[in-house]
Amino acid sequence: LAKTTQPISMDSYEGQEVNITCSHNNIATNDYITWYQQFPSQGPRFIIQGYKTKVTNEVASLFIPADRKSSTLSLPRVSLSDTAVYYCLVGSNAGNMLTFGGGTRLMVKP
């Protein structure tokens, strides 16, 4: 599974747009990019998944450049409840062994 690199932490304020970038230089052709959100003492929650270009759902957008060596999770107009750890994962259909990195701890301030 491709290794990912994300910032350890980020701070933002309510109402701002937050962009978290993940680097995955060794991404394979069959790999997809998936982002999870985790609150303390809870299981990770799926946010969004993509393969290339841009994917948008009701919660976030995922931007993937043509070379796919990085991806950016965009959270529009964050609120205090978006304070959480965000994980970027890269993997293929080869199995269910999700490899979590350290994640990005997002702190949203009032």
Partner 1 sequence: KAGVTQTPRYLIKTRGQQVTLSCSPISGHRSVSWYQQTPGQGLQFLFEYFSETQRNKGNFPGRFSGRQFSNSRSEMNVSTLELGDSALYLCASSLILAGSTDTQYFGPGTRLTVL
Dihedral of the alpha carbons of 1, 9, 43, 31, in degrees to the nearest 10: -20
Q: Which amino acid is at 50?
A: G
What distance, in Å, lies between the first and last C-alpha atoms of the chain?
Answer: 38
Cβ nearer to partner 1, comparing 95 with 110? 95
Q: Which of 80, 81, 89 is nearest to 24 (CA)?
A: 89
Q: Which of positions 90-109 make contact with partner 1 (CB under 8 A)? A: 91-103
Of 97 and 110, which has the nearer Cβ to partner 1? 97
Please, is 108 exposed, middle or buried when counting C-beta atoms within 10 Å of its C-beta (0-12, 13-18, 19+)? buried
> 28 to 87, contacts with partner 1 by CB under 8 A?
30-32, 34, 41-46, 49, 87
Least spacing, CB of residue 96 vs partner 1, in Å: 4
12-31 footprint of partner 1 as x/- string (CB under 8 A): ------------------xx
Binding site for partner 1 (CB under 8 A): 1, 30-32, 34, 41-46, 49, 87, 91-103
